[in-house]
Amino acid sequence: MADRLDQPREVRSSLLRRPRFSPDAFGRISESIARFMGTPRFLLWLTIFALAWLAWNSWGPSALRFDKAENGFTALTLMLSLQASYAAPLILLAQNRQDARDRVAAEQDRRRAERSLADTEFLAREMASLRIALGEVATRDFVRSELRNLMEEMEEARAASGAARGAPEPRPEGADQRAVEARGASDGSEGRGRRT
């Protein structure tokens, strides 16, 4: 015996070992039995067994009848009661194991939902920060307008420096483009004339 209460007792060796059952193995066996009892095959075999019992004890040789009809088939009633008394706890044990599995699955689903919610919130924050960052980035229209303004300032500066030196007035905006297009059209017509 232990001297102190916070220490476990010494293990006694006994001549006969107690059988130890694994709760998981017993649970698996009970689930398989409960699963079999819920099938049409079990109902069919139980019906065949009860009909054979009743037929033998009703019409079989009277010397070989073991459960008399006059006694109300007492042995059959006892056997079916015994089967039901074992079936009920086995079914309850199987249901308890299924409830435990359902609890674990629900907990895993809850954690998965929390993770996906956190990921969704993170992505929403990232999208918002990207929108804010893109608001500060120069767009194509902004760059075009800035280049157009620079071109106008350069044209004005060139016109001002040319007027100071007495140079001819610069062409209006878009004149260079129209000249290039006119030159391309005339080259095309000359090419067509040469081919003919």
Cβ-based burial of 94 (10 A; exposed 0-12, middle 13-18, buried ≥19): buried
% of the chain beyond a pLDDT of 70: 80
Q: Give residue 193's pLDDT.
A: 44
For residue 180 the two structure tokens come to 């290039």
- The confidence score (pLDDT) of residue 195 equals 43
Average pLDDT, the chain: 80
In the numeric block, the tokens 């030159």 are attached to 183
pTM of the predicted model, to two decimals? 0.46
CA atoms within a 13 Å half-sphere pointing along the CA-CB vector of 114: 6
Report the sign of the C-alpha dihedral through residues 58, 60, 62, 66, in that order. Answer: negative
Instruction: Please report the pLDDT score of residue 103 as a whole number.
Output: 94
List, in order, residues 6 or more apart from 56 with CB less than 8 Å away. 64, 65
Mean pLDDT score, 142-154:
90
For residue 131, what pLDDT band results from cuts at 50, 70 and 90? confident
pLDDT digits (tens, 9 = 90+) for 32-84: 888 888 899 999 999 999 999 999 988 888 888 888 888 889 999 999 999 99
3-class SS of residue 184: helix
Residue 63 has a CB neighbour count (10 Å cut-off) of 5
Residue 88 has pLDDT above 80, yes or no: yes
Q: What is the rounded distance in angstroms from the CA atom of residue 168 to the CA atom of residue 151? A: 19
Measured in whole angstroms, how far is the alpha carbon of residue 77 from the centre of its chain?
50
